[in-house]
Structure 1
Amino acid sequence: GGIVSATSAWLLLRSGLFSDVTNLQIILALSSVALCIVPFIIYHLVSAVPSEELHGYEAGYKLQKIRHKAHKDEKQSVMNSMLSGLFMLFKYPYVMGIFGMSFFFELISQALKVENIIFGKTASHSLSEFTAFLLWQALLVHIVAFIVVVFGTRALISYLGERRSLLVIPAATGLSMIAFVLRPSYSSAIFAFVVTRSVNYAFAAPLRESLYIPTVKEVQFKSKSWIDGVGTKFSKTCASSFNMYTDGLVGSALLGVQTVFFGAVISLWFLVAYALGLRFEKALKRNEVIGSGEVL
């Protein structure tokens, strides 16, 4: 889907048949129609898949049934329900680790995205050309991610296991950032962006979702909403602050700041990924449900 939509939009922009405004209006209209179809697809999937096949992790499913029978899942006030996810985020290091995996990726991605936009604006002469530049990158990301998903994701995770697979994410991101920082250019920026995004879509995102398997429902839904919503915005704010700080720096000064910043982020990312992988494997081995304090 990403490949088809990005290719179609890129071809439209490169054709030169319409003005910049008309091109964007066409893309926006078609995107809106596609989004309107999504609820029907979700409804079909929910209707087609038997409910007994949706419970996933057996220990978590058993705990949920026990809680339901014991009436532990009593209704909470709206405020308590909203804050319970945030409370569990700070209470359980494992959940904070999941936040860290998302935070570090978004931090690197957004900092790199600004560099890409700068290179794109410099190389473009019109709005359509600039948009086509961004879509071309998105197309490359989807193509690489598709290849990785088809030939590599499942094989790598099966071969390496969850813990080592988590370490691949900061490793691949770190290597691409080294290439960009040492030789900042149009090509290295695109390379780093494509590698970072492709690894996220094809590898990191499925792994992050699997980390929620040995957790209680409160973590899977309430804490996750804080991580995906507020946490993502927080990481983008931090990345924007870094970009504002480095604005105007050139040469060795810029290289030094970027080296320290990206080096520190990647190093912390490695530590979080390693600890998170160990905790995940331990939870599965003990048949533990993180967030409940119970082993089933």
Structure 2
Amino acid sequence: MTDPFAPQKTRAAAWFRQLRDDICAAFEALEDAHTDGPLSDLPAGRFELRETRRGTADGSDAGGGLMSVMRGGRVFEKVGVNVSAVHGALGDRAQRSLTARKEIPGLAEDPRFWASGISLVAHMQNPHAPAVHMNTRMFWTPGAWWFGGGSDLNPCIEYSEDTAAFHAVLKDACDPHDPGFYPRFKEWADDYFYIPHRKRARGVGGIFYDDLCSGDWEADFAFTQSVGRAFLPAFLPLADKRRTQAWTEADKETQLIHRGLYAEYNLVYDRGTKFGLETSHDPDAVLMSLPPFARWV
């Protein structure tokens, strides 16, 4: 049977892969540029690549992706940039997870799904350089399709000028599509990236959106591309500015404790983590976001 949505799936998956390539190249270039300051005597970091597969009980092809992780670099202590395009049938738990937030026509009768996206988390060597998260994705079922994603900044030591600059780039990316997008998606990020059991946000926010389906696939895809393109201009200047700043042991302690908050959020609340594990995707790829070291007090 011909899939009438196949061209859109192909374009979306190719876009996420190209964005991965662009980001990885920019991050490796920043590693090369760090020739002075803390840890500049280390070898420049490089991404290690590994193909991932979505697991199935019968061993059938269910898609997969590419896991790209850099560890122990000059600038990045750990950064992962993963892409995937997976498909199959949703189990009962995953179906309930989706229908709890979105009505999907016919999902119970036809549980097929297709999903593709990019997911990035960067944990920095320098405590003054902010950690960051970004993802964009497209999801399809026979009864619906939608986009989601966003970027958010997670400094352990906040600089108000960095926060303002990050948000300004995201606003500039949103406004040409709809002036209401930035305030709406900023508020969504503030609500979503909140840790209820700690009664605090995990960072200084950004934008977050999900279930974006205006009925115009081209418009929604164009917006998602703008969000992806905005990531490097929003984050890279901050990492570049802070990479040579001197730090103390107390600064590093602050960073490790803040990373504990990040780990708690991703393991307890994050939708992407839950969905990836519920649909049997490679657990190492799903849990790539966890920091290499963290501390709890």
Please say whether Structure 1 and Structure 2 have the same fold, judged by a TM-score greater than 0.5.
no
Structure whose CA Rg is larger: 1
- Which structure dedicates a bigger proportion of its chain to helix? 1
TM-score (structure 1 length as normaliser): 0.30
TM-score (structure 2 length as normaliser): 0.30
- Which structure dedicates a bigger proportion of its chain to strand? 2
